């Protein structure tokens, strides 16, 4: 049912997505929580007019970054990434460091790379130390190579035999292009 809702034309699901994102009611065992479904709809279709609603949700004091809200956060980060001209988003900057879900950080990093001009000089460098190879590779692809800290870390990644092969290749190609 969730996939069907996401695939429907946005003009048919937009109001529902807004209502469900604001709602914490109606969640039942075995049924996708309404905010999660709403976030998936926004990730696929969000328009510029939806950005304030998305940002408001990400700023909630009650946001539970340790449980089911993690998937909502990931989808809403993707939705914000659809609107780079409205960034940078301070909510993504905060969540980048606070999210305990390592794969979630990739969603945040992708959105920030599109929306935050400071990403290449700051957050991409942080990605080079992440526990997930996909995030290290993404950071390597985005990082400002003129930063001596980033260059040193790329050299370590490229030379590390235990590093993921694709991440090593990305790091090495950046070093070679310098």
Task: Kindly report, residue by residue over 129-176, the tens digit of the pLDDT.
Answer: 999 999 999 999 999 999 999 999 999 999 999 999 999 999 999 999
Stated pTM of the model: 0.88
- Distance, CA of 166 to CA of 170 (rounded, Å): 6
Residue 173 has what pLDDT?
A: 94
CB atoms within 10 A of CB 57: 20
Q: Report helix, strand or coil for 22.
A: helix
165-177 and 133-142 are packed helices; what angle lies between their axes, rounded to 10 degrees? 10
Q: Do 25 and 38 contact (CB within 8 A), yes or no?
A: no
Residue 64 has what pLDDT?
A: 60
Q: Flag the least confident range among 16-20, 31-35, 115-119.
A: 31-35
Give residue limits of the domains in the chain: 1-115, 120-178
Q: Which tokens hold the place of 167?
A: 């991440």
Residue 1 has what pLDDT?
A: 81
Residue 65 has what pLDDT?
A: 57
pLDDT at 27 over 60: no
- Distance, CA of 27 to CA of 38 (rounded, Å): 13
- Distance, CA of 120 to CA of 151 (rounded, Å): 12
Q: What is the pLDDT of residues 74-122, one digit of tens each?
A: 999 999 999 999 999 999 999 998 888 888 899 999 999 999 999 999 9
């Amino acid at each position: 049912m969730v996939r069907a809702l996401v695939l429907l034309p946005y003009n048919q699901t937009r109001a529902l997505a807004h209502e469900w994102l604001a709602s914490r009611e109606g969640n039942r065992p075995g049924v996708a929580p309404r905010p999660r479904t709403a976030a998936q709809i926004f990730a696929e279709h969000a328009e510029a007019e939806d950005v304030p609603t998305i940002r408001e949700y990400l700023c909630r004091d009650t946001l539970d970054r340790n449980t089911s809200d993690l998937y909502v956060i990931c989808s809403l980060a993707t939705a914000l990434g659809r609107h780079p001209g409205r960034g940078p988003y301070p909510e993504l900057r905060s969540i980048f460091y606070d999210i305990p879900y390592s794969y979630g950080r990739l969603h945040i990093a992708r959105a920030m790379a599109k929306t935050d001009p400071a990403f290449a000089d700051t957050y991409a460098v942080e990605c080079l130390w992440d526990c997930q190879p996909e995030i290290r590779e993404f950071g390597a692809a985005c990082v400002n190579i003129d930063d001596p800290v980033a260059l040193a870390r790329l050299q370590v990644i490229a030379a590390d035999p235990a590093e993921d092969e694709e991440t090593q290749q990305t790091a090495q190609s950046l070093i070679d292009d310098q």
